[in-house]
Every structure is written in C-alpha cells, then in structure tokens.
Structure 1
Amino acid sequence: MSSEAPRLTVVVPVFNEEDVLPLFADRMRPVLDGLQVPYELLAVDDGSRDNTPVVLELLCRRWPQLRVIRLRRNSGHQNALTAGLHRARGEYVASIDVDLQDPPEVIGEMLRLAESARLDVVHGVRADRSTDSPFKRWTAGLYYRLIRRVVGTTVPHNAGDFRMLSRRAVDALTEMPEHLPVYRLLVPWLGLPSGEVTYRREPRAAGRSKYPIAKMVRLALDSVIGFSAAPLRVATWLGVVGIALCAALAVAGGAAYLSGNVVPGWTSLIVAVLFLGALQLLCLGLLGEYVARIFTSLQGRPAYVVAFDSAVDRQKVEEALCRL
C-alpha cells in the first residue's frame, strides 16, 4: 500500500460475512477505481468467527488498496465503525455496510456533492425501502419518529450509517469521549454543514442480517438514553401519576370508612400493590441504565482492541527484513 495519504477512505465494518465479501469486492472495486482518486478501503473485522479473515486476506493480496484491521474480540457494529474512523487516513471518509443494501455507486455522488458544496457531512437517505419487510419498515419508522421527538429534528429521517464525512468531521468525532457511540445521532449533533443523497435500499446480497430484534432494541435504548434525559423525566411523571392514584385510593378508602362500608377489598388492594411495584421497578431500571453508563465511563476501558492492521504490521515486517 502506498504511503501517500488517500483522498478517500471507505470504512466497512465486517462480522461473519464470508458469503457476501466476494460479492461486495466485485461491486465495490470498479466503483472506487472509477472515481480516479487515491483511495483505501478499510475493512474492520469485528472478531469474526467464520472464514471472514481468510477471505479478507485473499482479497487483500490482489487488491492493493484494501486495508484490513482485525479486532481481538467482537465489539459491536458502532465500535467497529469507531475503529475504522480512528485509523482512516483519507481527506474524506465514507462508511458503508458490507451487505450491499446500500449501493456503493452512491459513494461517488456523495463525494462530488461534498466537494462541490463544501459540505462536511453527506447523509445517505433511504428514499425507497420497499425491499425491507413490513415489520422492518414499521420498526424503523417508529425508531426515527421516537428519536426525532426525543433528540430533535436535526436527525435525518431514514438515514443510517451510510454517509460521507470530511476530515474535519472525522477529527471532531474522534475527539469525543463516547463509550457507546450512535453515529446516526452523533454526526447531526456536531452541527456541521451537511447535505443528503437519496437512494433505493436493496435486498441483502448474501448471508443473514447481523441486526436481529434484540440488537435493534439495544440500539434504540442506546440512542434514547445516550442522548437525552427524557427517560428520567418519564420516571418522574410516572411517580406523579402513582402518587395521584394513591391519593384517589386514599380518598375512596376514607369515604368507605365514613359510610360504614369497611369490608376490605382484596382485588383493589392487590391491583394497587402490583401497580406501585411495577412503577418502582421501571424507575429503578431507568436509573440503572444511566448508572451503568457512568460506571462504564469511569472504568476507562477501550471500546475496541486492535489485533492486526495490514497497513502498519506488514510495513513493520518489511522494515525488519530490510535490516537483516
């Protein structure tokens, strides 16, 4: 790989994608070669447990611009993206998933828009999601409506992690001490000049999705709790509602005592106890989410650990051989 700093870096988080990687390379390489700019494709192997490292090594041997970073353990999609952003060398840095649902051909349009309009951020916006399942479209719509209401309307609707960033935007992101980053919210928060490019979302080229329902729920929780104190306010309002209901029950109990009807009601008692217990557990759970984030931040552990970087480690080997 050339020591010259590339004009463009494309970051691709990869986890157990041995089936789709050859298809991705066959489609991505002509696109990047056709841009006529120095580039590097930075594949971040997020601790894959299949043959993904082998496939990446074979691709790296015949694709000089392909650079592979391997993490020691699976750190999650957003942390793998963080590793790529931290080590990207390009003046512009694009991020894309390997499943080919986001078309690589849009990268050239993003780069031209960023350069011509002097934008620091170009979001890829999914204007057509007809290839997604109805459940996926419904949950995605619910997620973006929730986020825009809680965080603000600066978050582009239907914009994921397919985007183009300038070097200024990348440097700003790498300086932020985020332990659980959600870049679809962090990037708009920067307030840098931005634009949008729309595209049609395509079906997954091969393999299975690495974002099941559990990870989607986790992303939604990280998005809301990491960027807003609204859940704590919800807990406060639930407490107010609980107090109001308890006061109403107290008034009803006093009225029953004055009227002489003092036979205890088991149903009303158990309903009140269960309701108040559920409120307390919910409020404790919300508080626990914030305390857990404080605890993680105080630990100071790195979000990821790099085991291998083909651009750095191979250069060290070559230098050692030259000294022999």
Structure 2
Amino acid sequence: MLLSVVSPAHNEEQNLPVLHQRLKETLDQAGIQWEWVVVDDHSSDSTFQILTGLADVDSRVRAIRFSRNFGSHKAILCGLQEARGDCAVVMSSDLQDPPEVILSLLEEWRRVGSQVVWAEREARGDTGANLWFAKLYYWLMRRVVDLPNLPPNGADVFLLDRFVVDTLLRFNEQHVSLIALLSWVGFRQSSILYRRGERLHGSSSWSLAKKLKLVIDSVTGFSYLPIRLMSGVGLVTALMGFAYALVVIGARLFGGQPEGWSSLMVVLLVIGGIQMVMMGILGEYLWRALDQSRQRPPFVVEAKKTTPPSSRP
C-alpha cells in the first residue's frame, strides 16, 4: 500500500525541513510506504528551493510550484492530481497538525472502511474574531447550506480513499470550497479527534479577504438560499410599499396631509439599497457562471521536481 501525503505550502521555508523529518520518523517507523507531494502556492521566500533540496536527498518528496498564488484549495487539488497512493492524507505544512495523526487516520480507514476520514479538532485554538468567524462558517455550512458531514470544529487534516480522490478529480468547478465539496459528495465518512498545536514559524496567509471568498464560494456553490432570500425580501418590501400607499390614500381621502419628501426619500433609499444588494447577489452567481464557461484551468504549474516511480526505493 502506498500513502500519499499532500501539503499546500506558502512561505514555509522554515517549517518544511522539520515536517519532512517528522514524517520520516513517524511513517518509516510504522513501516508505511509513502510519498510527500508538496505544492508551493507561489511563495515569496525560498520554499520551492527548500523542497527541491529535499527531493534531491529523498526521492519520496515531490515538489510543484504554481505560476502565481491560486489559493490553498487549488494547491490541494493539484497535489491530489499528482498523488499515486491508494489513499491520500491532506495536511498543512505549518506544523500545527502533528504527523502522528496520520496513523490514527489510517487505522480508522482500515478498521471502519470509511472512504473519507476527518481529523476533527478537539477544540479550536482561535480567539476573538477568528473564533467567531470559524464557528459561524461551520454552523452556516452544516445548518443552512445542509452539509451535515462537516465537522463542527473544522478539519484541516483528512484522509481520502483512492476512489474518492478519482471522483473528486472529475469535478471541474472554478469557485468551490474543496472541504464543502468533500462533504457534498457523500460516501462513507467518519472522524477522529486530535489536538492541533501552535504554529512554530512564520505567520498564516489566511487573510480576511480569503475567508470571505471561502464563505461566498461555499454558499453560492451549494445553496440557492440567497436567491430565495431575495424573493422573500422583495415580497416583504412590496407589501410594505402597498401598506404605505394605503396610508397615503387614506390620509388624502379623510382630509389629512400625507407626509412630505423626507419620508418619500427614506422609502426610495431603502428600496434602492435593497435592489442594489439583490443585484450584487445575482452578480455573484452570474460571474461564477461566466468564469466557469471559460473553461480555464484551475491553476498553472510553473515548475516540478519529481522522481519517476521506477527510480524510487
């Protein structure tokens, strides 16, 4: 059995040698045949140079570099395309996820026969706005978008059976959350618990803009709820306008004076604002449909450093 470990990387020059050493210690000691596929998401440091150096001394390391920053989900997708294993474990390269959790994932895969195994955090280590955002996102995905398989505390490490990997690669969607897609495809899914550590070196590139894009991609890719909300808001607004019209007509019929321009301007601004928001929501869907119709590749590879299978130990 061959295990593929897939890791996206962005400015991880300090973490990669340490992670490589820990993977060797963990997997070699367990007698597992493995490969490590690392996709450099166009780092600005020497991440790719470090990876090529590791590949020179260990033929199990396979390094890929993007031509620009396409995002971690595209990097994971690229790594899965390159993976040759009977199963693949996706984990970050920032050392927050201990390589020892791979053994627990493999044990669950073999024992239960699950085709997707999530490594669910026992508790999130985030604080403040990050914790609030994460809880809101996973609640939204599980309850509103109706993806109940998503772990409530998130899962940054997961195992995929070969059949699931091949199924996933048949999808060709540009704007989609890979984690949400894995929950949507179904199959037999289970989870294990693990404790996530602190980042040893560097800082996370998971910015607020990327988080917001993830939410929009997840909702628009798996739910028609925004369209239904637009219909509901439009109906309520129309009823309010009709009620206000009755008030104005009644005031005129019974000798009263209708309210002046101030109230009219408020109504116009509120309705105009609602219409602009609705147009923006429709624009998100239309833009994604247009971008998908272009049939552009999801990513562009700039360089590779791999060893042919025949020359591997």
Normalised TM-score (structure 1): 0.90
- Counterpart AA for 2:52: E
Residues 272-281 or 48-57, more deviating = 48-57
Residue 90 of structure 1: SS of its match in structure 2? Answer: coil
Aligned position for 2:203: 208
| 1:102 has 2:97 as partner | yes
Aligned-partner Cα distance in 2 for 1:172–1:150: 25
CA distance in 2, matches of 1:187, 1:36: 29
How far off is 1:10 after superposition?
A: 0.5
Of 166, 180, 190, the residue aligned with 2:175 is 180
State the partner residue of 1:125.
Answer: 120
* Structure 2 match to 1:19: 14
Q: Find the counterpart in structure 1 of residue 139 from structure 2.
A: 145
- 2:210 maps to a residue whose letter is K
Displacement of 1:177: 2.0
How far does residue 156 in structure 1 lie from its aligned partner after superposition? Answer: 2.4
1:237-252 equivalences in 2 (<5 Å): 237-252=232-247
The total of aligned residue pairs comes to 309
Residue 272 of structure 1 pairs with residue 277 of structure 2: no
In 2, Cα distance between equivalents of 1:145 and 1:83: 28
Looking at structure 2, the residues matched to 134 and 26 of structure 1 have their Cα atoms a distance apart, in angstroms, of: 34
1:303 counterpart = 2:298 = yes
Distance 1:298 1:172 in 2: 21
- Residue 93 (structure 1) aligned with residue 80 (structure 2): no
Letter in 2 for 1:144: Y
Q: Residues 32-71 of structure 1 correspond to what in structure 2 (within 5 A)?
A: 32-71=27-66
8 A contact 1:161–1:183 mirrored in 2: no
Q: Which residue of 2 aligns with 1:321?
A: none
Identify which range, 180-189 or 235-244, moves more after superposition. 180-189
Aligned equivalents of 2:135 and 2:119: distance in 1?
16
1:181 Cα shift?
3.0
Aligned-partner residue type, residue 203 of structure 2: R
The corresponding residue for 1:193 is: 188
Q: Which amino acid aligns with 1:53?
A: F
1:282 corresponds to which residue? 277
Could you tell me how far 1:150 is from its partner in structure 2? Answer: 2.1
Deviations 1:126-146 (A, max 9, x none): 1122x3223222211111111
Aligned to 2:212: 217
> Aligned equivalents of 1:8 and 1:76: distance in 2?
24
TM-score by length of 2: 0.93
With 286-295 and 21-30 compared, the bigger mean Cα shift is at: 21-30
Q: Is the 8 A contact 2:248 2:258 kept in 1?
A: no
Structure-1 separation of matches of 2:25 and 2:49 = 22
Deviation for aligned residue 1:264: 4.3
Q: Is the 8 A contact 1:161 1:184 kept in 2?
A: no
CA distance, structure 1, for counterparts of residue 196 and residue 250 of structure 2 = 62
Structure 1 counterpart SS, 2:28: helix
Instruction: Say whether 1:163 aligns with 2:158.
Output: yes
The Cα shift of 1:209 comes to: 0.8
Q: Once structures 1 and 2 are overlaid, which stretch shifts more, 58-67 or 188-197?
A: 58-67
Write the deviation string for residues 210-253 of structure 1: whole angstroms up to 9, x where unpaired.
Answer: 11111111111111111111111111111111101111211111
Deviation digits for residues 161-184 of structure 1 (CA, Å, limit 9, x no counterpart):
410001011011001122123121
1:290 counterpart letter in structure 2: Y
Unaligned runs of 5+ in 1: 1-5, 319-324
> Which deviates more from structure 2 when the two are superposed, residues 211-220 or residues 87-96?
211-220
Q: In structure 1, what is the Cα distance between the partners aligned to 2:211 and 2:194?
A: 22
